[in-house]
Amino acid sequence: MTKDVKCTECGDRMISTREDRPYSKLPGVLLLGVEVLRCPKCGESEVVIPKPNQLGDLLARHLIEKRDRLVGPEIRFLRTHLGLPGAELARRMGVSPETISRWENGKDTMGPVADRLLRLLVAGDMPREALAKIGDDPRPLSLAVRASRAGWKEAA
């Protein structure tokens, strides 16, 4: 647990608790038992994410293996997981930067070919069988994960 953290808003000492919290970067992902720092004076709160790179890898793997097509926040997550600005992902996928923006903002649905291409960019070696199982409907990932001493794991 984090000790003696001061609130960035008022400078008071923050109190640590364990809570289940939705992951702000991916709707539908629940972080189980994460540390939350809360200021008793002003109410400011902060979620502590241990091993964020490992969490990103776990979520990316689940996204590229999910059966439903990707939705906007998942596309944005995978792009940032790759470390690419929208214009560079657009160049690599052969589309316009505006197309990437429309996909990420949910104004347009990514087609099945582009969906598979993005997954391949992230995975590199994703089994071909998984690509054949991707459905026609875009639906967000639904997943609960828990941090342990060994790292992040999907909850049973």
**Cα separation of 112 and 63, whole Å?**
14
2-24, pLDDT tens digit by residue? 668 999 889 999 999 999 999 99
- Whether pLDDT at 127 is above 60: no
Domains of the chain from N-terminus onward = 1-51+141-156 (no CATH), 67-140 (1.10.260.40)
Q: Reduce the DSSP state of residue 117 to 3 states and report it.
A: helix
**Cα separation of 79 and 42, whole Å?**
35
Instruction: Write the CB contacts of 60 (distance below 8 Å, at least 6 apart in sequence).
Output: 77, 78, 81, 122
User: Tell me, what amino acid is at 97?
Assistant: P
Query: Which of 29-38, 108-117, 128-137 has the lowest average pLDDT?
Result: 128-137
**Cα separation of 118 and 134, whole Å?**
13
Give the pLDDT of residue 141: 86
Mean local confidence (pLDDT), 127-148:
77
Helical (H) or strand (E) element with 35: strand 29-38
Give the pLDDT of residue 155: 86
Give the pLDDT of residue 156: 75
- Whether pLDDT at 39 is above 70: yes
Q: What is the pTM of this model?
A: 0.77
66-98, pLDDT tens digit by residue? 999 999 999 999 999 999 999 999 999 999 999
Give the pLDDT of residue 136: 76
**Cα separation of 70 and 19, whole Å?**
28
